[in-house]
Amino acid sequence: MTPADHPATLVLGGGLMGLAVAHQLARRGQHVTVISRRRSEAAGFVAAGMLAPHAEGLSGTLLQLGQASLEQIPRWVAQIERDSGLGCGLRTSGIVVPFRTAAERDAYPTAHLGQTLDRAGLEQEIPDLGPEWTTGLLFEQDGQIDNRRQLMRALERACVSLGVQFMEGAEVLNLLQGERGQLSGVALRSAEGEQQQLHCRQAVLCSGAWSQQLVPQLPVFPVKGQMLSLQGPRDALKRVIFGPGTYLVPREDGLIVVGATSERDAAFAEGLTPDGQKQLQQGIAALLPIATGWPPMERWWGFRPCTPDEGPLLGPGPIPGLWLACGHHRNGVLLAAITAELTASSLQDAPLPADNVALLKNFHWSRF
């Protein structure tokens, strides 16, 4: 692609958020180019895919954003499946949050939005739950999606079917600005090592944990997470278990995704660590002892894009013409639907409902 092509919108980052935004823009008739350095490093391939604003105990405006996105997800997934011809693995499996004491349960931020379970109720939902859990909350409204194996592939195919262009293996080096500070394009290094400039009228920053490298004003930093998967018997676990520090997410075919460490001091250090893997094994043993005998399938790691308040950065950025869709921390899969909707509508100057205007304002980058 040459500078003369002048794509209308550049999406900087080809992970879940970049694909979701590109898909929505393309559905609205925009010409979109996604620039992706290395697709495999995207957090969307790493996350467990929980859709859990209630089970995760979100509060305040972040809970409102999560609930708004959860409501949109069935329609969003239907669009992706229709445009791609592929399934996304959406399951309204419900999520159980176990507690050791009733006091811990009642202090949970979203306790009033869940169904209270005693030990007998817990055993009915999770037959092999560890013995230390005496009570819990069931959030039937929460669910999951198979992001790692299905959603990411379906989104990519949906984008291609709508004419989205991809520059894979290209690294954005810096943002270009015109005389009045307006975004005018990006300088990048192509997969072949050639440096070039690509002009645009507007761009969306979807660079995840690496966002601050392009826009230093943004307080986005990496939080490393290690995960693994087990192959359990089909239907051995019907509900997601969201325990303290560890969660188990059962896919339809019996695969159990187990996560995740939260390593704030690891920066961008790649690779698995013995301590991280030991933490996951201890979590499995505490939550579902029977699963310690199930064979491990995969082990992986990734970097969550975190902000100081763990909420995303949405809306106009510090450079005119640059829009933000980054910093989603551990809620990227949950918030992809609402982020894509808000971003696409904003870029087109489409009128937004008052609630959505308020949501965007709450997550403006200048709040820090």
Quick one: pLDDT at residue 348?
86
Average pLDDT over residues 337-363: 91
Q: Which whole-number Å values give the CA distances from 128 to 154, 237, 281, in the listed order?
A: 34, 9, 16
Give the span between the Cα atoms of 347 and 321, in whole angstroms. 9
Quick one: pLDDT at residue 12?
98
Paired strand residues for 144: 50, 91
Q: Is the model's pLDDT at 127 over the cut of 70?
A: yes
Give the span between the Cα atoms of 1 and 7, in whole angstroms. 10
Half-sphere exposure of 276 (CA within 13 A, CB side): 23
Q: Are 308 and 219 in contact (CB under 8 A)?
A: yes
pLDDT band at 209 (very low <50, low <70, confident <90, very high): very high
Half-sphere exposure of 102 (CA within 13 A, CB side): 4
Average pLDDT over residues 335-361: 91
Element of type H or E holding 27:
helix 16-27
Token pair belonging to 296: 């491990």
Q: What is the pLDDT of residues 3-25, one digit of tens each?
A: 444 457 999 999 999 999 999 99
- Other Cβ atoms closer than 10 A to 15: 29
Q: Is the model's pLDDT at 326 over the cut of 60?
A: yes
Q: What is the DSSP letter of 295?
A: P
Give the span between the Cα atoms of 362 and 61, in whole angstroms. 7
DSSP-assigned states of every residue in 81-133: HHHHSS---EE---EEEEESSHHHHHTSTTGGGSEEE-HHHHHHHSTT--TT-
Token pair belonging to 330: 């551990």
Q: Are 152 and 16 in contact (CB under 8 A)?
A: yes
pLDDT band at 306 (very low <50, low <70, confident <90, very high): very high
Give the span between the Cα atoms of 65 and 331, in whole angstroms. 10
Quick one: pLDDT at residue 3?
40
Q: What is the DSSP letter of 263?
A: B
Q: Which of 96, 180, 186, 90 is nearest to 144 (CA)?
A: 90
Quick one: pLDDT at residue 7?
54
Give all domains of the chain, ordered by start, each with its CATH number: 3-85+148-220+309-367 (3.50.50.60), 91-143+221-306 (3.30.9.10)
3-state DSSP helix/strand/coil percent for the chain, to nearest 5? 35, 25, 35
Q: Which of 332, 321, 324, 274 is nearest to 299 (CA)?
A: 274
Examine residue 354 and say whether the peptide bond preceding it is cis (omega within 30 degrees of 0): no
Percent of the chain with pLDDT over 90: 90
Q: Which residue has the higher pLDDT, 348 or 326?
A: 326
Token pair belonging to 24: 């929505």
Strand 247-250 to 313-316 pairing: unpaired
Average pLDDT over residues 24-35: 96
Average pLDDT over residues 235-262: 95
Q: Are 25 and 32 in contact (CB under 8 A)?
A: yes
Mean pLDDT score of the chain:
94
- Other Cβ atoms closer than 10 A to 28: 14
Percent of the chain with pLDDT over 70: 98
Paired strand residues for 313: 326
Rg, the chain, Cα only: 21
Q: Are 313 and 218 in contact (CB under 8 A)?
A: yes
Q: Are 1 and 194 in contact (CB under 8 A)?
A: no
Q: What is the pLDDT of residues 156-187, one digit of tens each?
A: 999 999 999 999 999 999 999 998 899 999 99
pLDDT band at 355 (very low <50, low <70, confident <90, very high): confident
Q: Are 29 and 183 in contact (CB under 8 A)?
A: no
Give the span between the Cα atoms of 230 and 85, in whole angstroms. 28
Q: Which residue has the higher pLDDT, 41 or 106?
A: 106
